[in-house]
Amino acid sequence: MSPMPPPKPSTEGPRDRQVFHEMGQIVRALEAHGPTEPDQLREIVGGRWWEENRFDRALALAASDGLVHTTDDGKVVAT
């Protein structure tokens, strides 16, 4: 069995299990609601109740992993 490749270089800091859960919530919300403004998406998933910056971090990580992207009109969609 070969070793796992090293993680991508990043300045994000280590990911914790919670951020994977948060990313999943974002993707599921987008799959259910379609293209959504970031502020509306934050409301849908309850992101304003998350710890400071967690919603923005989870959204940025989901985008960097190719799970979501932003459309030309600024809405977020699941990829």
Output the domain CATH number for residue 45.
1.10.10.10
User: Which residues fall within 8 angstroms of residue 26, CB to CB, at 6 or more apart?
Assistant: 41, 45, 58, 59, 62, 67, 68, 76
| Domain interval for residue 42 | 17-78
Q: Quick one: tokens of 12?
A: 């994000």
pTM: 0.81
- pLDDT for 49 equals 96
Give the pLDDT confidence score for residue 16 in this predicted structure: 87
Q: How confident is the model at residue 6 (pLDDT cuts 50, 70, 90)?
A: low
How many domains does the structure of the chain reveal? 1
Query: Could you tell me if residue 25 is inside a domain?
Result: yes
